Structure 1
């Protein structure tokens, strides 16, 4: 056999071996679908603390529980598989098998973020699903939105002094759209209808995303806080409240809200059957 024929035969054997190896090895499995983010918030001023249950509709009874959620609390985000989730609210310490006070279903899509919030006064309590926009803001900017959770402010205006207006005439229980603002040291001016303005110094890191909570302060007045939604692209915090009205977090609200609600979602199996709406917990 000539050298040319030997080389050709070698190439043929090599191609045959590579083809056989490719057929013998299965194709890599498709990447698992990305999960979504879900968190909880208690934004009803006169409703007492509650236990909140999150139950995947596709696997009833496989619940996660956030206990004793008090007014002003925003829980950590939790990674959850895409799908529908039943969110149920019960008085603190109630038997998980009892009918919930309130319930709602939230759809969590891949790469989405949702906040399920108890809103309104006790007499008109409801659950609202907020879409959280965690896409990166423009270069050199941070992103803010305002959540009106103070019954003492039927409407309010929020602005950055000398900068953009975040909300005008925002009604109690409403949430403004997100807006990009210049990063750096600045302030937020919150003015309720017919009331004095409250100024909150804030330090906004470029790329960060925040929700500005306007809350009722015990004894009267407003407490204004920023909650970090994301520290940067793909960086979701483990909860955290940065500051309260006047630049401090000591505004008399319950400790879970001040400390940023470092809450553990404990996986439990309750075997609860079909749920019905029941009586609300007693007002504060």
Structure 2
């Protein structure tokens, strides 16, 4: 059984992005190519120290634009636009240091106050997840420490992050009756546990009943099961692959939750954004056209 612990997306050229575009692409290029590359020169060191990603887990909060800013110097090192409910970004390689993650509604004015602002300390070799959760009137943030250690052959490693707003405490079992996580409060994560790899049918139990959801946990993967809300107020679950293999850099594309105000799934276009800056203005135009045809994450 997984034991509970204490509470411990694609880039887009926007009106907020002009001053941080070059730095954003510097982060996207190594992420899209799957290789470890030094971050932008304005970062605090020449080599990436750790990684961070962001998750939008507030079901009644509209799509948001996200910026990650280095506390030292104030440079925008990464940004995402139109991040919808249930979306979890790629891991962003970052130099060691303190960063501020800010979220504003996607349709807000340029000088709008963030609805979420959270500082995060990035350490060498330490991946983190920064999540905004709760109802819009009472938004909160939490930083989870991720562990991407590889599982044994034929197994997967998994944890549960409880982000439901309709059930304050949730237990997760397999449909066959095997307990996965018991009494997990909203805004908290369980420890990782080794499990048999494969497709699972889950029962998500709260005070008002049981909902079902299916997840796939590939062999050799490290995953997080996010407990989310559906538009009808029931529970659902989404498995996000934190790392499919043991590598220098975490891997995994944009994954989205299955309920709430989520829309259509958004195509990951980080590689297109990187290529746009490399090939020049013509490719930027192509990227903008491609971005307009993509759906929202959901």
TM-score norm. by structure 1 comes to 0.70
Instruction: Name stretches of at least 5 consecutive residues in structure 1 with no aligned partner.
Output: 1-30, 268-284
Deviation larger for 98-107 or 49-58? 98-107
Selected match of 1:150 from 150, 164, 181: 164
CA distance in 2, matches of 1:206, 1:63: 33
- Answer yes or no: is the 8 Å Cα contact 1:75–1:262 preserved in 2: no
Partner of 1:138: 152
- Describe the shift of the 1:79–1:165 C-alpha distance in structure 2 as closer, same or farther (beyond 3 A): same
1:60-99 equivalences under 5 Å are: 60-99=74-113
1:231 and 2:239 aligned: no
1:120 and 2:134 aligned: yes
Local SS of the residue matching 1:107: strand
Number of paired residues?
228
Selected match of 2:268 from 262, 267, 277: 262
1:236-247 equivalences under 5 Å are: 236-241=250-255
Local SS of the residue matching 2:209: coil
Local SS of the residue matching 2:150: coil
TM-score norm. by structure 2 comes to 0.67
Partner of 2:173: 159
CA distance in 1, matches of 2:104, 2:73: 20
CA distance in 2, matches of 1:263, 1:190: 33
Q: Kindly name which structure, 1 or 2, has the bigger radius of gyration based on alpha carbons.
A: 1
Local SS of the residue matching 1:196: strand
Please state how far the C-alpha of 1:119 moved relative to its aligned partner.
Answer: 1.2
Instruction: Name stretches of at least 5 consecutive residues in structure 2 with no aligned partner.
Output: 1-44, 275-298
Q: Deviations over 1:6-35 (max 9, x none)?
A: xxxxxxxxxxxxxxxxxxxxxxxxx96443
- Describe the shift of the 1:217–1:185 C-alpha distance in structure 2 as closer, same or farther (beyond 3 A): closer
Local SS of the residue matching 1:226: strand
Aligned alpha-carbon RMSD (Å): 2.8
- Answer yes or no: is the 8 Å Cα contact 2:65–2:80 preserved in 1: yes
Please state how far the C-alpha of 1:97 moved relative to its aligned partner.
Answer: 4.2
Partner of 1:102: 116
- Describe the shift of the 1:92–1:240 C-alpha distance in structure 2 as closer, same or farther (beyond 3 A): closer
Selected match of 1:171 from 180, 185, 192: 185
